[in-house]
Amino acid sequence: MDFLFTPESISALLTLTFLEIILGIDNIVFISIVVGELPEEKRARATNIGLILALVLRIILLFTITWIIAMKSSLFSIDTSQISAEINGQALVLFAGGLFLLYKSTKEIHEKIDHAGEKDKAVANKAANTMGHILLQIILIDAVFSLDSILTAVGMTSGIDGALWIMIIAVVVSILAMMIFAHPVTRFVHRHPSLQILALSFLILIGFMLIAEGAHLANMQVMGQHIGNIPKGYLYFAITFSLLVEFLNMRFRKMKN
């Protein structure tokens, strides 16, 4: 294991761990929303189980890197006068994940605004079959986020001795960090209804980003214009700026009260 203690490996491990934690913000936002469908006493348990399953899933995916990279191979093509694309497995996963986030977020916003209060009453009556449903949603969306995360990891550790071990350690550390922050984030979000709507808006934005990234991987062209990759920095800047504005609003409301 001496290869893990070379300057190159340590630098790659620290950088990759930091990036994995940043990329995990999407997961925490999604989990904080979906566990709200459970009674309050079950939310922490569902979050922990979901993150543990996410850890297992990511490690399994790391051992199938060759298969993941092979998903870049074209499955079928679209060639019309308006749209052309070479659809591959990675693009399909991102398309599906993006559409699911758009559907889930829009549905949750509708329920919170148009049926305010009704969902809270229903939550108390759903003790039996909801846990499995919530965990399934967490696993499915984590599979989508994991694809992006693992492709980033592969690109960063390419050519480094012990790359697989570096990626596994980074994934384990990032999931442990997510487990530490997920519970406070979940409690905080559910104490502030305005933050719930903001978080759902973030998920809509993330869903759009996933669809755009899938289109980029498929080399899609719409009316002669190639769809490029949207830098994730734009996404995180928008999230950070919106949160800053909301925290200032919360502060002013507290001072006013």
Where do the domains of the chain lie?
2-256
The pLDDT score that the predictor gives to residue 21 is 75
Cβ neighbour number for residue 67 with a 10 Å cutoff:
10
CA neighbor of 25 nearest in space, from 198, 181, 135: 181
SS3 133: helix
**φ and ψ of 6, to 5 deg:** -80, 150
Tokens 């002669």 correspond to 224
The pLDDT score that the predictor gives to residue 127 is 46
- Consecutive 10-residue runs of the chain (257 residues): their mean pLDDT? 67 76 74 78 81 81 71 81 85 84 82 59 50 80 73 66 77 82 77 78 83 86 82 78 84 79
Instruction: Report DSSP state, residue 105.
Output: H
Kindly report the pTM of this predicted structure: 0.69
SS3 88: strand
The pLDDT score that the predictor gives to residue 123 is 47
